[in-house]
């Protein structure tokens, strides 16, 4: 993705576009409570988009029930649409998953997912918007 395609907004602009809870998660790297998000149990078909910018992130075809209380996916739709960063907050070493287009926090990826990837992309429901097929 070209740098020119990235979305850059001020935090004040993001605050106007997002609800306070969306802002806390997407822009301040928050986490919604487990088993509370609208998509953690969803089995509906579609494409999960970044709630902040609409970038295509995950397919419902790769979604699975991890038992953790958050939507989990074995892989992104397109690796070029996400960014991975080391996260050492809260005394843990994790890998943060961000939307590459707008820099919003999505969740974390872990190495305890099912095959074929062995990955578990654990994502906040409030970071996503499901685009259902017509």
Contact in structure between 70 and 125 (CB atoms under 8 Å): yes
Place of tokens 């509906």: 44
Contact in structure between 109 and 97 (CB atoms under 8 Å): yes
Q: List residues with catalytic annotation.
A: 122
């Amino acid at each position: 993705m070209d740098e020119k395609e990235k979305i850059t907004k001020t935090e004040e602009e993001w605050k106007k576009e997002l609800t306070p809870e969306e802002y806390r998660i997407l822009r301040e790297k928050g986490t919604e409570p487990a088993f509370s998000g609208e998509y953690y149990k969803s089995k509906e078909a579609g494409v999960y988009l970044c709630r902040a910018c609409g970038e295509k992130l995950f397919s419902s075809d790769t979604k699975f029930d991890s038992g953790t209380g958050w939507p989990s996916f074995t892989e992104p739709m397109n690796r070029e649409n996400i960014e991975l960063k080391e996260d050492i907050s809260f005394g843990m070493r994790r890998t943060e998953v961000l939307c590459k287009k707008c820099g919003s926090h999505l969740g974390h990826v872990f190495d305890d997912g099912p095959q074929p990837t062995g990955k578990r992309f654990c994502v906040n429901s409030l970071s996503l918007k499901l685009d259902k097929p017509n």
